[in-house]
Structure 1
């Protein structure tokens, strides 16, 4: 007998629901809650660049929520780093880009671009026999400026604790444009704690100053005066088609396996912050490191996208029970 014989509506076990927040700075913010029978629940926010501010697996929180809480994009004013930070709820996924991201030398460019504070168009959700899908399009453009369109699809299988993110960025303008993409993926308590273990095969990870990093996989107890640390892991030379890294959480008994394609996302930016009230680990696959647009121009790593060209990005995050041998 099939499972369908036991339920009156498929939304009982898997589905997606459009919701809208009604208080505080989140007032008016539209979101789509996705959930499945495997125990995964997440929010996708069309009003915030199709980002994912919340993720839970088997009821266990995985993401990080900053003191800002959810903030509607209507509050966003790009005022250098300050504008981004006022709206930075962090969440599970904040997208950086599309034509610039990172901490640029140019004071006119805000941190991580504007895409995460841009509302989506043509968004919707669909539940099929095997998966729940949410999709939408987000555009970065200005008069006489770039015109880049990102089409995003977020998919969770009905019977697996897995997220697939499929993005297609198209240059709908008439000029060659810079292309910088950052998947600011963040892990918070209780999934991320001092006993968390980060496992990946990278060669000579460095800090922001270019020095060899030795403490990139060590996580301290939260302390008031702790400052953020940033590390760069370069896997552009990996021979495998896909690159995987794992985050093991003994506290929760879960592990996350992230799969990316080094051909398009050749750098993993690691953001480690073990500060009291700000305890978060960011693992951020990207086209470049987060030193910004001007730095990418100087070191020759800046990618470009031609008019009518489309570039595809794919990521997968799978959660499973942590193996005893790990």
Structure 2
């Protein structure tokens, strides 16, 4: 099975190669140092020459941040080991995947106080294309069981303990970047998260495969959400969100006002702030499903594939404020919506992981570079919908008026 298809059995995309070249980029005794390797230097005669480089940023609050650039010959991906192995941006030709945040530095977590701003300190570093949220909790800040839970957990601000680059020695010469995050606190949690980003030379697609392990001796609650963020050129007035939707509901009373147009977007609008919609998607028999954002003309877009057995729900975040404030939308598959954890237990959206157990999360991104690609992806969504109705709930799932 070839992984260039938009919707595939995700597990098939992660079979291990028989032989691969490997290099440890960051470890306890291997500090991040400027470094670069090319396909030519590795003796690989790929149709699209590629390179991988590691660099360190300096100045301001990005002092000491490591970046890894993967140029596969068709697309350049920038990954941030210092910030949860998040993907900062991707560039394929004249199409940028990412957005313009007022946070224009790649902020070192050492300069972020998550408890600040009433638990909204996470926003001081938020500017990535892909931001991992979790894994002990996700959602809006608030008190749960006597503890202040800050916005969207700690994962995005955990530096990777170990980073390894692996490149297959046989076609299609898949490039894998693996990282390890440690989310641990005495008496509280003992999680490790092994992340993997995979991309093939010449492709305009990439995939994430993350493994959460509970190293402790007791069952623990966990939550995960992938905050995938897109601005221009894909986001614009009358851009459209397309997915096979079983149920949609407004996140709060503000979102109720735009419920009739929840799948389309405004132009940058002063004082608009944001609206969020809770989505329960349809999927195929394996649990695979697809969400699409495309521009007004329908000739450019992004497809985000995920598995509902791993990530059963989806949040659509529409922040169509001014360009300077951050004109962006988030396509966010997760185990949970974005409510504080205490509100999600009654919804059955706070799963548990047993001692020494693992949970896997797969998310795939495919650039839709022309109208043919967009139309093909939309047709896949129609096939997943299969004529089934969408339930549109008029009221939020959670009453936040008492919060």
Which string of whole-angstrom CA distances, capped at 9 and with x for unpartnered residues, describes residues 198-252 of structure 1? 2111023111138693222121111221120000111267645300122223579
Could you say if the C-alpha distance between residues 236 and 102 of structure 1 is closer, same or farther in structure 2, counting changes exceeding 3 Å? farther
Gaps of 5+ in 1: 1-6
So what's the TM-score if we normalise by structure 2? Answer: 0.74
SS at 1:86 equivalent: helix
By how many angstroms is 1:294 displaced? 0.6
Correspondence for 1:47 among 82, 85, 109: 82
Could you say if the C-alpha distance between residues 233 and 97 of structure 1 is closer, same or farther in structure 2, counting changes exceeding 3 Å? same
Could you say if the C-alpha distance between residues 194 and 9 of structure 1 is closer, same or farther in structure 2, counting changes exceeding 3 Å? farther
CA distance in 1, matches of 2:262, 2:284: 20
Aligned to 2:160: 120
Determine whether 1:300 maps to 2:300. no
SS at 2:368 equivalent: strand
- Asked if 2 retains the 8 angstrom alpha-carbon contact of 1:146 and 1:175, the reply is no
Could you say if the C-alpha distance between residues 75 and 252 of structure 1 is closer, same or farther in structure 2, counting changes exceeding 3 Å? farther
SS at 1:192 equivalent: coil
Larger helix proportion of the pair: 2
SS at 2:336 equivalent: coil
- Asked if 2 retains the 8 angstrom alpha-carbon contact of 1:190 and 1:252, the reply is no
Map 1:159-178 → 2, pairs under 5 A: 159-178=202-221
Aligned to 2:29: none
Moved more, 248-257 or 23-32: 248-257
Which string of whole-angstrom CA distances, capped at 9 and with x for unpartnered residues, describes residues 244-295 of structure 1? 1222235794222211101110111010011112110100000011102111
Gaps of 5+ in 2: 1-38, 376-403
Q: Which has the larger radius of gyration?
A: 2
Correspondence for 2:190 among 147, 154, 157: 147
Determine whether 1:29 maps to 2:77. no
Could you say if the C-alpha distance between residues 252 and 134 of structure 1 is closer, same or farther in structure 2, counting changes exceeding 3 Å? farther
Map 1:2-21 → 2, pairs under 5 A: 8-9=40-41, 13-21=49-57
Which string of whole-angstrom CA distances, capped at 9 and with x for unpartnered residues, describes residues 27-63 of structure 1? 11011111112x2111111110010111112242110
Correspondence for 1:225 among 267, 271, 277: 271
RMSD: 2.2
SS at 1:285 equivalent: strand
So what's the TM-score if we normalise by structure 1? Answer: 0.91
Aligned to 2:328: 280
List 4+ stretches of structure 1 deviating above 4 A.
236-240
Aligned to 1:4: none
Aligned to 1:270: 316
Q: How many residues align?
A: 318
CA distance in 1, matches of 2:82, 2:351: 27
